[in-house]
Amino acid sequence: MNARIGPSTRKPLTMTSTKPIAMQLSEAILAEELDRLIHSAMLRIEQQGFHVQELSASPSQVAHAQRVLDQMIEGLRQLRLQRAQFV
């Protein structure tokens, strides 16, 4: 899970776009924030996966932790869908 977040992921703002610079800037900021959220979600999902593996003794705790993990994965999927709008 080595998502690279930083200057190399930014698209340059150009005057050749049909969008005003302010709109390009807003989209760039939103895209960067979504990248940060996706990266954080991936780290939390990884931690939750370890947590699920550690709870093998209690079936009810495992089931709860797995539900939480499933919700986190769905949230990550939604973030990725939102991020795809800014490509």
- DSSP assignment of 17-82 equals SSS-HHHHHHHHHHHHHHHHHHHHHHHHHHHHHHHHHHTTT-HHHHHHHHHHHHHHHHHHHHHHHH
Cα 22 vs. chain centroid, distance in angstroms? 24
65 pLDDT more than 50: yes
Q: What is the mean pLDDT of residues 58-67?
A: 87
Report residue 55's pLDDT band, with 50, 70 and 90 as the boundaries. Answer: confident
Residue 82 has what pLDDT? Answer: 92
Q: CA–CA distance from 37 to each of 10, 22, 63 (Å)?
A: 15, 22, 26
How is the chain split into domains, by residue range? 22-84
Give the whole-angstrom CA distance, residue 66 versus residue 45.
Answer: 11
pTM for the complete prediction?
A: 0.66
